[in-house]
Amino acid sequence: MTRRERRMREQESAAVTNESAATTASVPRAPKSATAAADDFAAAAAALNFTGERAKAHAEPESETPHASSRQEARRVSTPQRTLNTPFRKFAAATGSIAAVGAIALLAVGVSLPLAAPSAVPAVVADAAGGVAKTPVAADPAEAELQGYVAGDDIETAPLERVEGYEASTFSDIAAVSGISTSGAFFDNDPTADIQWPFAVGTSMSSPFGYRWGRLHEGVDFTPGDGAPIQAIADGVVRTASEAGGAYGVNVYIDHVIDGELVTSHYAHMQYGSLEVVSGQRVEVGDTLGKTGNTGRSYGSHLHFEIRYNDTAIDPLPWLREHANRHYSDDEKAAVAGLETDMLGQGAAE
């Protein structure tokens, strides 16, 4: 091939190349696809550590066609976020949720569980700078159980001082010591009163005042048990104290001044050898006269008790319920003492 023919071919080839370049330049380029754009955005987001995702209130239903899924994915990726969902805001939201759940749990535990004894007690210690700080110190279980002070062997107990004039006895103790049966008791006695019942504590009754077996039973029969001590119902002077009382057996009559009137109390069927008073003796309320027995016309150990006005018997129970457990004032005591001297003679003043 000659030089001229080679030059002509090069010119033809250059012309074809120029024509192809012109054609390519005149044809518009197609835009990048949505997938390519999404890939570019994902690459930029990865470089900036930004995912572009946000929480949804409701999950989107899955698309049945791949084309719809691709469009939704491209729209979700390409749509800019309206709310800046930064890592700090995620961390803050998670921390708040955990704190709320923890507070509710602690409240439930505090309400449901009882208070527990502390396992440590604060001790005050001095630090290196001279300040004072409280440091928890574990409590010794043995010391926690100790509820009292233990004295050493060399400590002597101080002697107890007895308080004179004080009695800690109860009415039940009195009954137990004296042997008075309180079974079936129908009254209460005040051992500090100025007028009392014929027994220091309440006891039972077997027969009331009234007609019995065709004749008047002029008193009431108390049943405190054999040997129970009988006491004077008020201050007075013994009129009669005898072991030869016929149907009454061993019996005592005492004259009293009550409400300005002469009142006589009568105690019958006492044990032989139990009398502790004599005729003409002045007695005080609560003094022991003798012991409950079964002497005279009696069918069991009991006390036949009477109240008499001008030697006429009345029902003792209403009278005792009205007058017993009564306390005199100082003026009343002085008046009674004066009347006893005038009405009962010199024995009342002794």
CA atoms within 13 A on the CB side of 28: 3
- Residue entry with tokens 């995912």: 51
Q: Say how many C-beta atoms besides its own lie within 10 A of residue 18's C-beta.
A: 10
For the chain, give the percent of residues with pLDDT over 70: 52
Report which DSSP code applies to 11. H
Q: What is the pLDDT of residue 123?
A: 46
Q: Is the pLDDT of residue 190 over 70?
A: yes
Q: What is the pLDDT of residue 91?
A: 66
The distance of Cα 224 from the centroid of its chain, to the nearest Å, equals 40
Q: Identity (one letter) of the amino acid at 33?
A: S
Q: Is the pLDDT of residue 26 over 80?
A: no
Q: Which of 36-40, 139-143, 240-244 has the lowest mean pLDDT?
A: 139-143
Overall average pLDDT of the 71-79 stretch: 51
Q: What is the pLDDT of residue 60?
A: 47
Average pLDDT, the chain: 75
Q: What is the pLDDT of residue 119?
A: 47
Q: Which of residues 171 and 282 earns the better pLDDT score?
A: 282
Q: What is the pLDDT of residue 163?
A: 46
Instruction: Pick the most confident of 90-104, 169-183, 282-296, 327-341.
Output: 282-296
Token digits of residue 25: 């330049």
Q: Which of residues 129 and 113 earns the better pLDDT score?
A: 113
Q: Which of 61-70, 147-156, 203-212 has the lowest mean pLDDT?
A: 61-70
Backbone angles phi, psi at 135, to 5 degrees: -120, 125
Q: What is the pLDDT of residue 118?
A: 47
Separation CA 20–CA 22 (nearest Å): 5
Which of 267, 278, 289, 286 shows the shortest CA–CA distance to 350? 278
Q: What is the pLDDT of residue 316?
A: 97
Q: What is the pLDDT of residue 98?
A: 73
Are the beta carbons of 238 and 276 closer than 8 angstroms?
no
* CA max distance for the chain: 192
- In the chain, % helix, strand, coil (3-state, to 5) comes to 35, 20, 45
Q: What is the pLDDT of residue 347?
A: 57
Q: Is the pLDDT of residue 34 over 90?
A: no
Read off the pLDDT band of 95 (50, 70, 90): low
Q: What is the pLDDT of residues 248-283, one digit of tens each?
A: 999 999 999 999 999 999 999 999 999 999 999 999
The secondary structure element, H or E, covering residue 221 is strand 220-222
Q: What is the pLDDT of residue 264?
A: 98
- Residue entry with tokens 């999404």: 38
Backbone angles phi, psi at 229, to 5 degrees: -70, 140
Separation CA 86–CA 93 (nearest Å): 11
Q: Which of residues 34 and 208 earns the better pLDDT score?
A: 208
Separation CA 274–CA 289 (nearest Å): 8
Radius of gyration of the chain (CA): 59
Overall average pLDDT of the 67-74 stretch: 52
Q: What is the pLDDT of residue 4?
A: 73
pTM score of the predicted model: 0.52
Q: What is the pLDDT of residue 149?
A: 47
Q: What is the pLDDT of residues 123-134, one digit of tens each?
A: 444 444 445 454
Q: Which of residues 110 and 165 earns the better pLDDT score?
A: 110
Read off the pLDDT band of 61 (50, 70, 90): very low
Token digits of residue 36: 């390519």
